């Protein structure tokens, strides 16, 4: 009984140590993100700034403002004379103001929105960057209870899961998100002009990126189910039509906006990953002969 109590205490102590290490990893990564918040914010908002302030619009803004201020400089002497014009060229000033409004950056409409959004941004980046370190702490806590062959499978599974999550997140951020923002921001043009807040965009971006990261875990989930004998490649192939419907439904639920374009950007990769999973299972999962025949009995040799 005493030995059990000691082992339980040691177990809880090890759990506390691993939790502390995981929290430290998240905190340090979040603090580093906070130190470099300006380049970080500029980098993650690049896709939306290209939509709300394209390069040609900024160049046009600079040219118009330069011309207008040259015009003001020429009128400077006249403005000082008693009989000179008392009003500036309001049309030119309004043109510059309109162009500047169109090329403005992300805004915040609540006094604390900017601060808490940046805090949320740094925390989320810290979580994403420190995820391998956190998983390593979980691994170090769980691994003593595993057999040698279990360690190998769990290790492969954790590594594959992390790699697939980062692959999906990178695909979403670098490929899908810019095109999605361009497509969504074009609705109603030229009568509607996109004017996003930093809180809305950061929430949309992280929901989008994390959603794609989780979707890319589909091959790993199906592979594990196949290794456990729950599904087979033939079963998945026969249920392809249902899988497509389920993927479309899941994409409609997961995507942060209801438009069909964003939904399809997630549904199409899910369908492709489903097909990839079938081929991976065919190649790497050994078939159970009795599972391929009705009644679970394989035919005799020579039959």
Q: What is the full per-residue pLDDT of the chain (303 aa) written as tens digits? A: 444 445 778 888 889 999 999 999 999 999 999 999 999 998 888 878 777 655 555 556 666 666 766 666 666 655 555 444 444 455 555 555 555 555 456 888 889 999 999 999 999 999 999 999 999 999 888 888 778 888 888 888 889 999 999 999 999 999 888 888 888 877 776 777 778 889 999 998 998 899 899 989 999 999 989 988 898 999 999 999 999 999 888 888 777 666 777 788 888 888 999 999 999 999 888 765 544 444 444 444 444
Q: Are 260 and 249 members of one domain?
A: yes
Number of domains in the chain: 2
Q: Are 81 and 119 members of one domain?
A: no
Q: Are 31 and 151 members of one domain?
A: yes
Q: Are 96 and 194 members of one domain?
A: no
Q: Are 45 and 85 members of one domain?
A: no
Q: Are 209 and 258 members of one domain?
A: yes
Q: Are 47 and 170 members of one domain?
A: yes
Last residue of a domain, one of 83, 102, 121: 102
Last residue of a domain, one of 38, 67, 102: 102
Q: Are 141 and 175 members of one domain?
A: yes
Domain that holds residue 9: 2-53+104-291
Cis peptide before 190 (omega within 30 of 0): yes
The set of residues, in sequence order, having a beta carbon less than 8 Å from that of 276 and lying 6+ positions away, is: 219
Q: Are 69 and 125 members of one domain?
A: no
Q: Which of 39, 68, 59 is nearest to 103 (CA)?
A: 59
Residue that is written with structure tokens 């995820």 in the block? 131
Last residue of a domain, one of 102, 137, 167: 102
The set of residues, in sequence order, having a beta carbon less than 8 Å from that of 161 and lying 6+ positions away, is: 217, 220
Q: Are 252 and 235 members of one domain?
A: yes
Q: Are 70 and 197 members of one domain?
A: no
Is 177 a member of any domain?
yes
Q: Are 126 and 9 members of one domain?
A: yes
Tell me the backbone φ, ψ of residue 275, rounded to 5 degrees. Answer: -65, -40
Is 166 a member of any domain?
yes
């Amino acid at each position: 009984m005493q030995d059990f109590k000691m082992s339980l205490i040691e177990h809880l102590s090890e759990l506390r140590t691993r939790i502390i290490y995981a929290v430290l990893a998240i905190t340090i990564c979040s603090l580093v993100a906070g130190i470099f918040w300006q380049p970080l914010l500029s980098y993650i908002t690049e896709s939306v700034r290209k939509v709300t302030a394209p390069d040609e619009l900024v160049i046009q803004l600079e040219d118009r403002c330069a011309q207008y201020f040259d015009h003001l400089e020429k009128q400077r002497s006249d403005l000082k004379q008693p009989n000179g014009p008392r009003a500036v060229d309001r049309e030119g000033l309004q043109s510059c103001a309109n162009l500047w409004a169109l090329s403005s950056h992300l805004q915040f409409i609540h006094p604390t929105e900017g601060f808490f959004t940046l805090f949320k941004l740094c925390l989320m980046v810290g979580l994403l960057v420190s995820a391998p370190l956190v998983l390593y702490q979980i691994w170090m806590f769980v691994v003593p209870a595993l057999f040698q062959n279990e360690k190998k499978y769990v290790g492969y599974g954790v590594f594959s899961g992390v790699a697939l999550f980062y692959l999906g997140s990178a695909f979403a951020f670098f490929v899908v998100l810019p095109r999605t923002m361009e497509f969504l921001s074009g609705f109603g043009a030229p009568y509607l002009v996109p004017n996003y807040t930093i809180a809305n965009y950061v929430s949309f971006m992280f929901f989008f990126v994390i959603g794609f990261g989780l979707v890319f875990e589909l091959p790993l989930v199906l592979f594990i189910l196949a290794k456990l004998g729950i599904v087979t490649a033939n079963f998945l192939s026969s249920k392809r039509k249902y899988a497509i419907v389920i993927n479309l439904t899941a994409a409609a639920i997961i995507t942060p906006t209801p438009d069909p374009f964003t939904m399809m950007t997630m549904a199409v990769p899910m369908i492709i990953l489903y097909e990839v999973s079938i081929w991976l299972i065919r190649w790497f999962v050994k078939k159970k002969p009795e599972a391929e025949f009705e009644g679970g009995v394989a035919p005799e040799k020579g039959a």
